[in-house]
């Protein structure tokens, strides 16, 4: 009697998921966070990056680009000073598509990307309004129609506003930390909507990855 031996066929998707889990454990050990964490804080997951050309502005150590490459996703990482992210132990930036460039002057043709993301990047760190306006205008230029810009988490840098733009003298003296954070949140969205009225701030209080003072992210769909 002949014996039929069943051979198991490897599932490449399972292998990729296992490789991603291993990679992101290493990212967590190295940086205290991983790419999936950064995406989640912008209301995204890997499924939402499928079939999209994505630009990660202020990519730093390129966590998202590194994980995306493993999953076969199209992500371009940019940062104006990638060298600053090299660790003292000699760990190098991952071998991904990485461009050294400023967010105010993106070296890409018009309507190149479906999605632009920036986690804890220059959009929320700049303290100069003119620079933020240039970044947003550049992002809109290289986005395709119906493309999306997302950045965060949290509000704009409070230093982008003069004290008198945020508080009256009495408020300055009496406001609690929570009241100050709420005022900065309000002024941040007002300023962004003065650049493009379609800006939204998406609040996700159930997302356990957020610091309570930095809940939410900004979203703009190019129309």
Domain around 109: 12-221
Query: How do residues 43-96 score in pLDDT, each as one tens digit?
Result: 999 999 999 999 999 999 899 999 999 999 999 999 998 777 665 556 667 788
Examine residue 33 and state whether it is found in any structural domain, yes or no: yes
- Residue 199 maps to which CATH number? 3.40.50.150
In a domain, 5, yes or no: no
Q: Tens of pLDDT along 130-173?
A: 999 999 999 999 999 999 999 999 899 999 999 999 999 999 99
Instruction: State the total domains in the chain.
Output: 1
Does residue 2 form part of some domain?
no
Distances from the Cα of 82 to the Cαs of 4, 29, 104, 107, 163, in angstroms?
56, 20, 16, 16, 33
Per-residue pLDDT at 38 exceeds 70: yes
Q: Judge whether 7 lies within some domain.
A: no
Cα gap 216→202, rounded to integer Å: 5
| 6 part of a folded domain | no
Q: In what order do the strands lie in the sheet with 74-79?
A: 98-100, 74-79, 53-57, 113-119, 143-152, 217-221, 200-202
Backbone angles phi, psi at 51, to 5 degrees: 60, 25
Provide the whole-model pTM: 0.88
In a domain, residue 79? The reply is yes
């Amino acid at each position: 009697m002949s014996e039929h031996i069943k051979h198991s066929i490897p599932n490449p998707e399972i292998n990729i998921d296992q490789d991603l889990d291993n990679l992101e454990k290493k990212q967590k050990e190295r940086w205290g966070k991983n790419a999936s964490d950064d995406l989640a804080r912008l209301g995204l997951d890997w499924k939402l990056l499928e079939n999209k050309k994505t630009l990660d502005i202020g990519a730093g150590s390129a966590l998202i680009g590194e994980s995306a490459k493993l999953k076969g996703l199209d992500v371009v990482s940019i940062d104006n000073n990638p060298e600053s992210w090299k660790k003292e132990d000699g760990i190098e930036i991952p071998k991904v598509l990485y461009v050294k460039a400023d967010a105010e002057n993106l070296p890409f043709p018009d309507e190149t990307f479906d999605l632009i993301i920036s986690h804890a990047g220059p959009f929320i760190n700049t303290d100069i309004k003119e620079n933020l306006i240039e970044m947003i205008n550049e992002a809109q230029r290289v986005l395709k129609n119906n493309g999306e810009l997302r950045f965060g988490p949290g509000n704009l840098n409070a230093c982008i506003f003069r004290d008198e733009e945020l508080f009256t003298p009495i408020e300055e003296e009496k406001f609690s930390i929570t009241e100050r954070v709420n005022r900065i949140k309000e002024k941040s969205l007002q300023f962004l909507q003065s650049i493009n009225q379609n800006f939204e701030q998406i609040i996700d209080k159930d997302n356990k990855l957020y610091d309570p003072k930095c809940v939410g992210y900004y979203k703009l769909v190019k129309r």
